[in-house]
Amino acid sequence: MNTHLRDLVQETHLQKEDFIYPLFIKSGKNFKKEIESMPGVFQMSIDEAIKECESLKKLGLYSIILFGIPKTKDSIGSDALCEHGIIASAIKAIKEAHPDMFVVTDLCFCEYTDHGHCGILDMETESVNNDATLEILGQQAVIHAKAGADMIAPSGMMDGTIQALRTALDAAGFINLPLMAYSTKFASAYYGPFRDVAESSPSFGDRRTYQMNPANRREAINESIEDEKEGADILMIKPALAYMDIIRDVKDNTRLPLAVYNVSGEYAMLKAAQKAGLIDYEKVMMETLIGFKRAGADIIITYHAKEAAALL
């Protein structure tokens, strides 16, 4: 086929503007440590994150999502509830240095609790107390908002999160602050490397009581539609690669923008295959990313963002 015709009839396009790049913020200064299972991904201190934003902008990347690794963890995740906590401090510093960056925050408790679960536990049952967690999620969201976050992305999968956050944010005056819901989040082994970076592995049990069964398609659609009804502004499917059908299903059932999270294990697999000389890494990466768009993604949260932007 003539190459111009091929371009004219191309149905899907990948662009830098589609990407959100994850950053892992740790306390300290001049600290930058690569994660063994995720080459090219670092834990970094706030000053390093500010430098990182400089290089992201040079690549044409303006959207980031922040994860925090606090100095101390406890049973209720106090660092996340403090205006001087790691993420609140990071948002303030980054927005001050780079007002043109779009700063999204991941809202959850697993990185802040000593037990590594996504909320407060009931002591007798050792399971997450949904309603008590909604209460502190609201407080955490208002702290992020006051610090200057541009969008909040609750990732904990507690029931009623979106409605509770909308209420808490509106009451604090943040009526226009958008919520990107991790609306369909599967209990996935693909999060393995993330838990090394974020130091957030559950100390006992797993997340199956609040994350979804990978076998369920109708439930996957329902979960996202529930979040839309509660007032989410953007929906999300996570992980992405093993759930292309779900991306399409949800896309066909909503008029909201749809994000996908191309998670740590998906990135780590391609990186390992690259290192072993098994694949043409750049081509496989671009094919994977365009696949997400073809499946229905508008936004792609990906550790590949810098490499892909450099190629685009």
Least distance in angstroms from the C-beta of 156 to Zn ion: 5
| Sites for Zn ion among residues 64-123 (CB under 5 A) | 108, 110, 118
Question: Which one, 68 or 296, has the nearer CB to ligand PBG?
Answer: 68
Q: Which does 263 bind (CB under 5 to 8 A by kind): ligand PBG, Zn ion, none?
A: ligand PBG
Instruction: Count other Cβ atoms within 10 Å, centred on residue 51.
Output: 13
Please give the Cα distance from 38 to 258 (Å, whole number): 26
Residue 186 is a binding residue for ligand PBG (CB under 6 A): no
Binding mask 249-278 for ligand PBG (x = CB under 6 A): --------------xx--------------
| Sites for ligand PBG among residues 119-178 (CB under 6 A) | 155-156
Q: Give the residue from 6, 12, 10, 14 showing the smallest Cα distance to 307.
A: 14
Cβ(46)–Cβ(97) below 8 Å: no
Name, in order, each residue with C-beta under 8 angstroms of 87's C-beta and a sequence gap of 6 or more.
Answer: 25, 66, 68, 80, 105, 144, 147
Question: Which one, 191 or 243, has the nearer CB to ligand PBG?
Answer: 191
Catalytic: 57? Answer: no
Least distance in angstroms from the C-beta of 29 to ligand PBG: 26
Going by the DSSP 8-state scheme, the letter that residue 180 receives in this structure is B
Determine the number of helices (DSSP H) and then strands (DSSP E) in the chain.
11, 12
Output the six-digit token pair for 101: 């960056």
Sign of CA dihedral 295, 301, 302, 307: positive
Catalytic: 16? Answer: no
Q: Which does 42 bind (CB under 5 to 8 A by kind): Zn ion, ligand PBG, none?
A: none
Contact set with ligand PBG (CB under 6 A): 106, 108, 110, 118, 155-156, 191, 194-195, 207, 263-264
Residues designated as active site: 185, 238
